[in-house]
């Protein structure tokens, strides 16, 4: 109810604050028998990790994960998998006025009004550090999806501030700090981000995500449509303000005769729908885009108030990402994996029928 | 798990097919003591009702609601409220090939692959008729929100196909079949929609929705952020392909110094965030936009396959909305009301503390 | 959250008051393809029906069920199945003081304090009439379990007041109004119940329930143990005050060397555990007992208070069962069926592994 | 779905195996502002701890708890509270045949059939060590209930094997290893348990539990009755085979004129109901009893089979409780606290009405 659990059958419950002793999660419902070790998870954590280049926060965290339960002799047992990541670089410092002031664009104001108490150190629970636990859990789902169906999930940045990034090749994504599927624009992006940082400001970003090798039939037709759950998952990532499935907002000006994807004996002839019809996967590639707002912590002074309602001026110094969108790709991949895995398990649960000819369900193993 | 229930504390479970005997829902968790009668619900049902003008489907349904339980002497009792709407105009006809063919853009293909069986009459459960039950349930939530906090929810169409609709005045919305907050463009829109219909095609739409008078503090900070739940709710409406909160996709090119809403002793100085920070309501107006794809059922012939995989050509005749977006406003209002009510109850549950000074919680009654 | 939904994957949400227009439920998550019609459900409703003999309430209800959705051409479609039962014999009468007085042993006092409002006509939602919806839903689960695994569920009365009823033959149960697996004691029981009724009093009862043909592996090991869920299910039936699994309270004085069921290559050598070990079914017959308190509505005057706290004397006249336990068997069967079906679906969801040799899972279809 | 989470609003998700690196849980939904530190939790953990006297297992565990999140400056913040308990005395040993044999009365057989893989070291997840996490979580709920309502929960052993233990004084419970509310029978019990241990056998136990100072109005009337949830909670404890609420199985032979608790202006005149009517608390003391089976791990040789189906003989040596019931009191207290806290929060959520006069709800703060 307090919303720290994601999923219905493959559930992930996360915990942890930016400057507390640790972050982590419990995965409940992971099918037994999946080969799993720390390295499977560490690889994705390292992709999200802060401090790896000059365009992201300089906080240095090893983000080393420990599996506390649910794995025996290298395989999952069907019991809860607890994952623990100790915080190691939560600098002790004088928080000064932060404890009693609301930074513009931050959750300070709303946490204080909701709870009447707030762990202000580094943003507490509202910090993007919370997403480390998501990435860890997502790595398990990704591995299962890959093993079970061959599903591949990829996410890349398509725009940073005003800079659109052309798609060149997916292989380039891992080679640059911008998660850009592009090699030729990297120098330009480096310069752009340097200029943003020097201006003591921040910028937004847009990302594209897709999942290939998704079986047909995932998703529930009314409230828990696959697209609705994906929108929920992506919008639950800090700073996301917009989500599109398939053609997204372009559908407004489309005609039905253009949008509806035709079928031939060989399969679908286009994919305007983004791989989902009636809330259920078609077996095509699932595609989505999402928008991330500019980082709220900037060194430019801004007007605000304190907890007594007095006017104050705030400039946030310290270690912050000038574009939080740059580290969002692994987080979004994790969230999409959690959605797909949960729906694969739901589908399996429901199709226990004795009586129905369900030709594609065999693909669900 | 099968996704026909929405909400965690104020839960709505819907049932019903387009051409079955009835539609309806059970609302569980409605607080006791709310004055409620059929007319409270009927008003919103009538706004969504088909057959009221030439720009929407010509199916004629009274959409009369009967309250079967949970109300005693004009007030809710805290027990489940069952709402029943009988279908009356589900024409019997020869469905011909529809039973074995997949209409492009429709859920036919995915239902068949998911379930191995499908009620093809009028789209069955994937028909937009299913949303009548949502509107009925939403009317109860709206009334409670209005009574408890004075919350007002409004939704209007801002674009139909290529036609952008300027905002003039909210009072105009109820006066035209386009749910446009505009009087001067109506003639133009009538002509436009006539031309779309005559071309045997359909168009998409974009809508704006907002909620005023929302208390601060609603929403859970991680997975069940208020914005994530709104995205889920809106994307769960048939044909929605994109959702924006606040500035939405415009944030990509914004600077942090512009986006972050400043505070003064009098309150927030702007509302780029759309009334939500860190997943929690700020007390400002909540704003969102969403995109609806063009109706898939069009009379223009299109290529598809049948259940045996043979190529076929399909043109969908019959009673269909040339722009499904035109009737989406009451549905979206209902969904937003369900989200807000659920979160108001969650907030109330959690803030049972004896020890905390929570200044705004008094507003939650 | 308000507790009118049972189950996690096969969910049943009930509604309805004793003297309202109707009772019913929505079943969500039923697998597609199950042959189902009204008669499948009516048979069990008729077994629970009031007014069939002089030992139960004389209220006459047809308890006719209408399927409103989720079934197409005689088979379930995977969409919600709504079941409707109209009340027909809710006599209008002068409720007199009942509206403001708390009957001893009834839910009047607690409803009034919980909700501040209460539908006092015939007990409203706290009436045993609510269980008709459970029996209807349970009939669907029973049919699926029978079709899928050959599971059979049986329940009979083993004691009424001081009268113990020896087990003779299960076939006798349907032949007598006491749900006794016994023919020779019927005359004696008739006389006993007549004397209870004439004394203007009521008695309790004890019942035994079992399920045969349950696959091994159902149940979750920690909180949602199969036995814990069965205890929950049985204790959720009006008036149940005690539940035992297997040997139940007899285990207190047993030795481990007696209690622990030994295994041989042919299978288990005894069944003290009641078919469940570690919260998971063993494949043996599941056995349980439960106790039902005497009916609270009796014509003997009793002391109580009214809503203003004044002392009053209450004698409840009207149409009441002198032993509510006599009609509990079909209800308990329904609840056990709901638990087993839900766990069968959960098991199926979880065992999606690609990598594990799970020899008995084949039995789950 | 996999059942390692308890509660709906105050949720506890546990993890950990007997011989894995750690046990623990995440509490989600704890109201903000509750003063909390490790010692609040440690006190109850120490009461459950193994190795403290010769009548329980000799495994030595410090059971030291670490709070990883959700507490700031000595108070809960409303965010998830993660609790970690490292295992320190999980002896490495040769497990020999245990890996491939099913111990009678144990979960070995069912885990293996359910999952196809099993952590056999010390029983893995089916070990009673799992309950340490429950006790830790329960301590938080107990503290909140105490602070909020003054609720007190107490549990004691009323029978061990054939030995009934008379109630003398609740203060004695903490003074003896038998959790007996009795001082005069202790010597006798010591001798009895020594004889059981020497016979290489084990015995069952019966316990009584009660909660005083529970507000009226907790519980949901249909499936989630307070008594049903208590039955679920207690039956979910390892080895519990029977649960009674109030008079329990004694109600079978009672008359309605005896059982129904009369009311006077001063309050209820008796408590046969155990403090619950219609599934909702009456404000009286809640009372329940439960039965625990004899420990399955005994040194007496027993017949069983291995995973290949061959007959084997098993005697379980090692560190085991000769009566697991002796350490069940703190676990049952924890479970009852979790149920009450969850229902107090549910009640609070639902009674958000603006319109109802609910006189006792003020007691809910």
Measured in whole angstroms, how far is the alpha carbon of residue A52 from the centre of its chain? Answer: 19
B124–A contact, CB cutoff 8 A: no
Q: What is the pLDDT of residue D354?
A: 39
Least confident window among A329-343, B157-171, B222-236, D78-92: D78-92
Residue C226 placed within a domain: yes
CB contact under 8 A, C245 and D235: yes
Instruction: Please count the other Cβ atoms lying within 10 Å of the Cβ belonging to residue B315.
Output: 12
d(CA D282, CA C111): 10
- The arithmetic mean of pLDDT across residues C238-261, rounded, is 97
Number of CB atoms found within 10 A of residue A100's CB = 17
pTM given for the model: 0.96
Give the torsion sign (CA, C291, C293, C294, C297): negative
Residues B245-275: tens digit of each pLDDT: 999 999 999 999 999 999 999 999 999 999 9
List the single residue in C75, C348, C350 with the smallest CB-CB distance to A355.
C75
Residue D289's H or E segment, with its range, is strand D286-292
CATH of the domain at B22: 3.60.150.10
Chains that touch D (3 or more CB pairs under 8 A): A, B, C
Mean pLDDT of C266-285: 97
Q: How many CB pairs under 8 A join C and D?
A: 401
The CA distance from A288 to A275, in Å, is: 10
- Which member of B1, B26, B116 has the closest CB to residue C26? B26
pLDDT tens track for D301-352: 999 999 999 999 998 887 778 899 999 999 999 999 999 999 999 998 887 5
Tens-digit pLDDT profile for residues C175-233: 999 999 999 999 999 999 999 999 999 999 999 999 999 999 999 999 999 999 999 99
Percent of chain A with pLDDT over 70: 95
The pLDDT of residue A158 is above 50? yes
Residues of B in contact with A208 (CB under 8 A): none
pLDDT of residue C56: 76
Q: How many domains does the structure of chain B reveal?
A: 1
In angstroms, rounded to a whole number, what is the distance separating the alpha carbons of residues C159 and D252?
7
Long-range contacts of D110-113 (CB under 8 A, 24+ apart): D110/C216, D110/C217, D110/C219, D110/C276, D110/C277, D110/C278, D110/C279, D110/C280, D110/C281, D110/C282, D111/C221, D111/C278, D111/C280, D112/D307, D113/C216, D113/C217, D113/C280, D113/C283, D113/C358, D113/C359, D113/C360
- Give C 36-55 residues with CB within 8 A of chain D: none
- Residue C249 and residue D250 in contact, taking contact as beta carbons nearer than 8 Å: no
> What pLDDT is attached to residue D362?
31
Does C365 map to a domain? no
pLDDT at A365 > cutoff 60: no
A356 close contact with C: CB closer than 8 A: yes
- Residue C86 in this model has a pLDDT that exceeds 50: yes
- C239 marked among binding-site residues: yes
Chain A residues inside the 8 Å CB shell of C78: 350
Closest residue by Cα to residue B321 from B17, B45, B59: B59
HSE on the CB side for B208, CA within 13 Å? 19
Q: In this predicted structure, what is the pLDDT of residue C355?
A: 36
Task: Count CB pairs under 8 A between chains B and D.
Answer: 81
pLDDT for position C94: 63
Judge whether residue C364 has pLDDT over 60.
no
Domain encompassing residue D222: 5-364
Q: Are D207 and D157 in contact (CB under 8 A)?
A: yes
For the annotated binding site of A for NADP(+), the residues are 48, 54
| pLDDT on residue D156 | 98
Q: What is the mean pLDDT of residues B337-345?
A: 96
What is the mean pLDDT of the segment spanning D105-133? Answer: 92
How many residues are listed for chain B in this entry?
Answer: 365
Question: Is the separation of the CB atoms in B42 and B84 below 8 Å?
Answer: no
Any domain includes C362: no
Nearest of A134, A167, A138, A182 to residue A289 by alpha carbon: A167
pLDDT band at D94 (very low <50, low <70, confident <90, very high): low
Does residue C13 belong to the interface with chain B, where contact is any CB pair within 8 Å?
yes
Annotated binding site of B for FMN: 125-127, 238-239, 278, 293-297, 319
D218-266 per-position pLDDT tens digit: 999 999 999 999 999 999 999 999 999 999 999 999 999 999 999 999 9
What are A239-279's pLDDT values in tens digits?
999 999 999 999 999 999 999 999 999 999 999 999 999 99
pLDDT of residue C99: 87
> Residue A51: pLDDT band by 50, 70, 90 thresholds?
confident
Closest CA to C90 of C23, C38, C27: C23
> Is the CB of residue D292 less than 8 Å from the CB of residue D205?
yes
Predicted confidence (pLDDT) at residue B131 exceeds the cutoff of 90: yes
Supply the pLDDT for residue A91. Answer: 66
pLDDT in tens, A71-130: 999 999 999 999 999 998 776 666 777 889 999 999 999 999 999 898 998 889 999 899
The response to whether C126 counts as a known ligand-binding position is yes
Strands D280-281 and D286-292: unpaired
CB B292 within 8 A of CB B240: yes
Q: Do the chains contact at C17 and B79, CB–CB below 8 Å?
A: yes
A110-119, C124-133, C311-320: segment of lowest average pLDDT: C311-320
Q: Is the pLDDT of residue D363 over 70?
A: no
Query: What pLDDT, in 10s, does the model give residues A293-309?
Result: 999 989 899 999 999 99
Pairing of strands D75-76, D205-212: unpaired
Using pLDDT thresholds of 50, 70 and 90, give the confidence band for residue B290. Answer: very high
Cα–Cα distance, C272 to D19 (Å, whole number): 29
**Residue C69 annotated in ligand binding:** no
Tell whether A360 is covered by a domain: no
Q: Across residues D118-124, what is the average pLDDT?
A: 88
- Percent of the residues in chain B that have a pLDDT greater than 90, as a whole number: 81
Res A354: pLDDT: 39
A117 belongs to a structural domain: yes
Comparing C356 with C216, which gets the higher pLDDT? C216
pLDDT of residue D348: 87
Average pLDDT score over residue span C136-154: 96
Averaged pLDDT for residues B228-250: 98
Residue B355 has pLDDT above 80, yes or no: no
Q: Does C79 touch chain A (CB under 8 A)?
A: yes
Does the pLDDT of residue B354 top 60, yes or no? no
Q: Would the pLDDT of A59 be above 80? A: no
């Amino acid at each position: 109810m307090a919303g720290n659990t994601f999923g219905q059958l493959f559930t992930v419950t996360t915990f942890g604050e930016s400057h507390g002793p640790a972050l982590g999660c419990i995965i409940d419902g992971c099918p037994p028998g999946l080969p799993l070790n720390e390295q499977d998870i560490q690889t994705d954590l390292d992709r999200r990790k802060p401090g790896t280049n000059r365009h992201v926060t300089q906080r240095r965290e090893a983000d080393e994960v420990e599996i506390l339960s649910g794995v025996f002799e290298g395989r999952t047992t069907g019991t809860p998998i607890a994952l623990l990541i100790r915080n190691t670089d939560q600098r002790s410092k004088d928080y000064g006025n932060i404890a009693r002031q609301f930074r513009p664009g931050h959750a300070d104001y709303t946490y204080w009004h909701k709870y009447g108490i707030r762990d202000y150190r580094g943003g507490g629970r509202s910090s993007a550090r919370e997403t480390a636990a998501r990435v860890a859990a997502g790595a398990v789902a990704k591995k299962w999806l890959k093993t079970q169906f061959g599903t591949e999930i990829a996410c890349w940045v398509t725009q940073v501030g005003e800079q659109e990034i052309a798609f060149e090749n997916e292989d380039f994504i891992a080679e640059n700090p911008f998660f850009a599927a592009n090699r030729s624009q990297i120098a330009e992006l480096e310069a752009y981000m340097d200029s943003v940082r020097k201006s003591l400001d921040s910028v937004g970003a847009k990302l594209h995500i897709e999942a290939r090798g998704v079986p047909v039939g995932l998703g529930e037709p009314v409230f828990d449509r696959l697209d609705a759950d994906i929108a929920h998952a992506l919008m639950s990532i800090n700073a996301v303000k917009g989500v599109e499935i398939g053609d997204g907002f372009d559908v407004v000006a489309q005609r039905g005769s253009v949008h509806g994807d035709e079928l031939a004996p060989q399969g679908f002839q286009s994919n305007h729908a983004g791989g989902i019809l009636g809330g259920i996967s078609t077996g095509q590639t699932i595609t989505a885009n999402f928008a991330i707002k500019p980082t709220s912590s900037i060194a430019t002074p801004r007007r605000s108030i304190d907890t007594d309602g007095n006017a104050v001026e705030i400039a946030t110094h310290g270690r912050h990402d000038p574009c939080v969108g740059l580290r969002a790709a692994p987080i979004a991949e994790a969230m999409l994996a959690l959605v797909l895995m949960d729906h694969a398990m739901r589908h399996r649960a429901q199709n226990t029928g004795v009586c129905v000819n369900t030709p594609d369900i065999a693909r669900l193993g």
